[in-house]
Amino acid sequence: MIEPHISFYDNHTPWGPAVGRNFQIRGFAYRETMPRGMVCNGDKAGYPWPWLLIFFHDPATVVLEDVRADVAENSLMVWPAGASHHYGNAGREWTHSWLIVDFPEMSQFQKNYPLPVGRPFCISADAIFARYLGILQDEFRRDATDLFFQQNLLQLFLYDLHRWCKLNFVSIPERLLEMERYLSSHLQEELTAESIAAHFGITAPHFRSLFRKYFHSSPMQYLNTLRQNKAARLLRFYPYSCKEIAEMTGFRDPLYFSRCFRRFWGTSPSEYRENCDQSARLRCK
């Protein structure tokens, strides 16, 4: 990990069930570079996390409710208080900026100035994180910090993000949503970009271009993500064999399915199921 020039972390205040009752900035960093791999936090019920805001400067992956999503570079991700976090890049070093904060008024603030919560959002927020985290670092270097100043600066930071999110919001045309629904409902079939494009009466290059513009992924990468997420859910919650799951997610060859699953999740289907069973047992203790 490469230490950022702008960073702060509160090592003194304990974490526990009382997290979130009072305003407190727990930590932040601007352009922190991480080694390849995934970060997992917030899974322990006795140590709930506050709000977490991350700006991914590089492509990354997030796992939300056991569904993996690829995140484009220059994307904002906001996790609500109490959520678990699973994110990173298993294939290469990656850089992110982040802020952890206890903010009891966040729900009310969200009603007035909403941010996308629980899903990645493409936005050019590098300058916003640099500006406000730099001011916060100057504040925490003082002998006596000012809570009123911190609260108001945080709200300006969130409002600035809200403004940029509004400017960057792009409504996805119904035709593209129909294409996305088509992929989701035909996972068992052998699909190609050419066959999907033909179904909608357009050329394959035009289909690829349109899909990438609105979903920030090629259609076949998006289809593979849908298939792998469905496979993971089936392994976690149902007793189907790997061969059956392969067929249910559009793979005719179970061995090829296992290779694709390992490439996507970093583990074999059987290991994934075993790890899910172990995690469930630990949560029950």
Architecture of domain 6-168: Sandwich (2.60)
Give dist(CA 228, CA 190) in Å, integer: 15
Query: What global pTM score does this model have?
Result: 0.69
Say yes or no: do domains 6-168 and 174-284 share a fold.
Answer: no
Residue 22: the pLDDT is 87
Domain spans, the chain: 6-168, 174-284
More confident residue, 189 or 281: 189
Average pLDDT, the chain: 87
pLDDT band at residue 18 under the 50/70/90 scheme: low
pLDDT in tens, 31-48: 999 998 989 887 766 667
How many alpha carbons lie under 13 Å from residue 284 in its C-beta half-sphere?
6
C-beta separation of 140 from 161 below 8 A: no
Model confidence pLDDT, tens digit, residues 211-256: 988 887 899 988 998 898 899 889 988 999 999 999 999 999 999 9
Q: Output the furthest CA–CA distance in the chain (Å, rounded).
A: 67
pLDDT tops 90 at residue 165: no
Mean pLDDT of 64-85: 86
Its CATH architecture, for the domain 174-284, is Orthogonal Bundle (1.10)
Q: What is the pLDDT of residue 48?
A: 76
Judging by DSSP bridges, how do beta strands 37-41 and 24-34 pair with one another? unpaired
- The token duo for 209 is 């271009």
Whether 123 contacts 160, CB under 8 Å: no
Helices (H) and strands (E) in the chain, counts: 10, 10
Cβ proximity of 127 and 176 under 8 Å = no
Report the alpha-carbon distance of residue 104 to residue 283 in Å, rounded: 27
